Structure 1
Amino acid sequence: MTETAPPCPVLETRDLTIRFGGHVAVDRVSCRFERGTLTAIVGPNGAGKTTWFNLISGQLRATGGRVLLEGVDVTGLGPAARTRRGMGRAFQLTNLFPNLSVRENVRLAVQAREGGGPTIWRRWSDRTDWIEQADRILEQVALADEGRVPAAALPHGDQRKLEVAVMMALEPRVLMFDEPTAGMSVDEVPVVLDLIQRLKDQGDRTILLVEHKMDVIRSLADRIVVLHNGQLVADGEPAAVIASPIVQEAYLGVSAGSEPDHG
């Protein structure tokens, strides 16, 4: 009787590496991410978290190793091609069209997903279905009343919500959040966390989250991956990883036996 091969993960990095001169910023990191899971990626400043994200999403080209999306090697593809294949990325700094309206930012993402564009026969404004989709997404992120406002005029927290809306419009299978609560006020943080929780609850997405706030990680993560000096040094269920003395002392910046920093 032949054994059935295990299904390939939605996303995988194999020995992923990047060097800047003599410095190895990400050092042979191998990791698998399954459908329906949220993985938090933690580590001290300079650990290589964002660099690893940039390698996965294509902003940086790897020195060695591979990135596989649903079993297909995408290492040689740029960010736009990876996005078309189902990889979405929200940045630590907002990545929007600042002079376009809130609705236009989302509508453009809907149009890009469907491969549409204006033609000599039909203007994009005739595509009321794109506009309706954009409006539905804006309702989900509590920005429906801001549709006509230029993105640049939004407060920082609302810009982060808009960036999530743009990513939702692309309907990616893999969602990557790089410190989504960075720079937000205490009142703004729960709205974005609720958005991420609802995306997770759909059960069909693979979510990666770089985050420093341990209370955020506890509330959202199914799994924690720890990087240090560009290497993967811990990987497991949140309670076990957080309780690990080596992680607490060396990577989360607290003494063994004390409570991890919630800031």
Structure 2
Amino acid sequence: MSQTLLETDGLTVRFGGHVAVDAVSCAFRAGELTAIVGPNGAGKTTYFNLISGQIAASAGRVRLMGEDVTRLSVAERCRRGLGRAFQLTNLFPDLSVLENVRLVIQARHRKGFNLLSMASGHAEITTAAMAVLERVRLSDRRDHKVSELSHGNQRKLEVAMLIALDPMVYMFDEPTAGMSVDEAPVVLDLIAELKHDSDRTILLVEHKMDVIRTLADRIIVLHNGALAADGAPAEVMASDVVQEAYMGKALEDV
């Protein structure tokens, strides 16, 4: 069996009297893409926020490659191999497309801006950044300010920055949201390409069932913050839990 790269054990968060994520235990293995689905308000993005550290857990644990990272900052989790692309773009709007990707690669290698390293080290960083931009079909916009890009191209740049980070765990929160039918396939093809790396794992929050059918090796379903189903795509998508959730009917206690 593949190595478990990420694990949540009884992960819970409460906001006042409301339990937004309710004791969710899941293990995510290398070489596997897991789609996280559920109706609006099911707790999908909150679960992502707990894993990546944007929200502090009320109870439970997050383990990354066997280490407890529950109390670590977002930045420290990132340094240890957890990378997330946000549902809303999280970019530097006044910098160029190339500079955005360069900054990620520079941070990953912990190279600062000093004149002695600029000629050699920074040239290597620029070359690496351009290679990433080629992958996301943005090399022709390398000198454009991010604020000048269309929404779809900003989403592609966000994926480029995540690829540049080179994490062990990729987290995508609705990566094609707001993208046109022409733009979305580029991002989906990139995620499919990332699946070929059997040393990494991918988590995907997505509403579009055709995307899930195409990409997912496994589906987990959240409902009212709790884990309602977990298994192979065909099995889970045929289940009453998913059928009822996506038909908009009220789910009974699961």
- Compute the TM-score of the two structures, normalised by the length of structure 2: 0.95
Instruction: Give the Å deviation of 1:127.
Output: 1.5
Please say if residues 8 and 71 of structure 1, whose CA atoms lie closer than 8 Å, have aligned partners that are also in contact.
no
Task: Name whichever of 169-178 and 120-129 sits farther off.
Answer: 120-129
Please say if residues 12 and 31 of structure 1, whose CA atoms lie closer than 8 Å, have aligned partners that are also in contact.
yes
Please say if residues 43 and 222 of structure 2, whose CA atoms lie closer than 8 Å, have aligned partners that are also in contact.
yes
Instruction: Give the Å deviation of 1:202.
Output: 2.5
Q: The residue matched to 1:10 in structure 2 has which SS?
A: strand
Mapped to 1, the partners of 2:120 and 2:15 lie a distance apart of: 46
Once the two structures are superposed, what CA deviation does each residue of 1:185-211 show, in whole Å capped at 9, x if it has no partner? 111111110010001122222000000
Q: Which amino acid aligns with 2:178?
A: G
Aligned match for 1:169, one of 164, 168, 184: 164
Alignment match, 2:123 = 128
Aligned residue-pair number = 249
Aligned match for 2:150, one of 145, 152, 155: 155
Alignment match, 2:95 = 100
Q: Which amino acid aligns with 2:203?
A: L
Q: Which amino acid aligns with 2:98?
A: R
Residue 246 of structure 2 is aligned to residue 252 of structure 1: yes
Mapped to 1, the partners of 2:112 and 2:32 lie a distance apart of: 34
Residue 209 of structure 2 is aligned to residue 214 of structure 1: yes
Unaligned runs of 5+ residues in structure 1 are 1-5, 256-263
Q: Which amino acid aligns with 1:158?
A: N
Q: Which amino acid aligns with 1:222?
A: D
Instruction: Give the Å deviation of 1:120.
Output: 5.7
Once the two structures are superposed, what CA deviation does each residue of 1:143-184 show, in whole Å capped at 9, x if it has no partner? 010000011111111111100110111110100000001001
Alignment match, 1:225 = 220
Matches within 5 A, 1:1-263: 9-119=4-114, 121-123=116-118, 127-249=122-244, 251-253=245-247
Please say if residues 118 and 124 of structure 1, whose CA atoms lie closer than 8 Å, have aligned partners that are also in contact.
no
Once the two structures are superposed, what CA deviation does each residue of 1:208-242 show, in whole Å capped at 9, x if it has no partner? 00000000000000000000000000000000000
Q: The residue matched to 2:4 in structure 1 has which SS?
A: coil
Mapped to 1, the partners of 2:206 and 2:164 lie a distance apart of: 23
Distance 1:160 1:125, change over 3 A: farther
Please say if residues 26 and 231 of structure 1, whose CA atoms lie closer than 8 Å, have aligned partners that are also in contact.
yes
Mapped to 1, the partners of 2:181 and 2:239 lie a distance apart of: 29
Distance 1:12 1:123, change over 3 A: same
Please say if residues 62 and 70 of structure 2, whose CA atoms lie closer than 8 Å, have aligned partners that are also in contact.
yes
Instruction: Give the Å deviation of 1:123.
Output: 3.8
- Compute the TM-score of the two structures, normalised by the length of structure 1: 0.91
Mapped to 1, the partners of 2:105 and 2:38 lie a distance apart of: 35
Q: The residue matched to 2:195 in structure 1 has which SS?
A: helix
Mapped to 1, the partners of 2:132 and 2:83 lie a distance apart of: 16
Mapped to 2, the partners of 1:120 and 1:147 lie a distance apart of: 23
Mapped to 2, the partners of 1:64 and 1:127 lie a distance apart of: 43
Mapped to 1, the partners of 2:117 and 2:36 lie a distance apart of: 45
Mapped to 1, the partners of 2:134 and 2:156 lie a distance apart of: 11
Q: The residue matched to 2:104 in structure 1 has which SS?
A: helix
Q: Which amino acid aligns with 1:70?
A: M
Q: Which amino acid aligns with 1:233?
A: A
Unaligned runs of 5+ residues in structure 2 are 250-254
Using the aligned pairs only, state the percent identity. 63
